[in-house]
Amino acid sequence: MWGQCRGQFVLLPFLTHFCCTDDVFACFATPAVTWRLLSVEPDDHLTIAQSIKKEFDNPDNADLRFQVDGKYIYVHKVLLKIRCEHFHSVLNNGTEEIIEINEFSYPVYRAFLEYLYTDSISLPPEHAIGLLDLASFYRDNRLKKLCQQTIKQGISEENAIALLSTAVKYEAKELEEFCFRFCINHLTVVTQSPGFAEMDHGLMKIFISKASRAGAFKN
């Protein structure tokens, strides 16, 4: 968001935790407004997006199952091919009815498939880390951004070092800088956490050097 926000003028676009512009205008405009016409549909009407979302993991019409950790996830080949370049190649001429996944956990892979149906994710930070790994594997930049937003919202003094290490591992520079700044602002508690004691030695040296340049150690 940018512009006149609660009486303050924001010159440059500022990242919020909102997922749609309707919420931004409702919460930050003065007075609160909507920026587009709203319509009321009958209760029994479903939009295209709502209909597609409803069909996720529905065995009635599915033509493909993913088996992850001994559990099934029911999907539709045509939607996967439309939404994901990886599946467009893998499923193009395939006749598979079951695909077994061993590289990722059930919560992570189910969240990924649900994202293809809904264009959104709903995961705790610890699973969002695994989903970030998957997003990197499938080269889905939008999914990577959603994972980074989820991780930012769920960062704490206890998991900050683990999230920083993950950001470095997957070369998520914006997330890395965010986690680093959080660690600097909560340096005393973070350095006393179990995650800091278990931190990779190479990364620890980089962290201490960078923290020193940022003025974290005054004496």
**For residue 73, what are the β-bridge partners?**
66
Domains of the chain: 1-40 (no CATH), 48-150 (3.30.710.10), 155-218 (1.25.40)
* Structure confidence at residue 22 (pLDDT): 86
pLDDT in tens, 154-209: 888 888 898 888 888 877 788 888 889 999 888 889 888 888 888 888 888 888 88
For residues 172 and 190, give the distance between their C-alpha atoms in angstroms, rounded to a whole number: 21
CB 97 within 8 A of CB 64: yes
What's the rounded Cα separation, in Å, for the pair 128 and 150?
Answer: 7
Rg (CA), the chain: 21
Residue with structure tokens 């990779």?
A: 200
> Mean pLDDT in the chain?
86
The answer, yes or no, to whether residue 100 has pLDDT greater than 90, is yes
Which position has the higher pLDDT, 117 or 127? 117
* Cα–Cα nearest to 139, from 92, 89, 76, 175: 89
Q: What is the pLDDT of residue 94?
A: 66
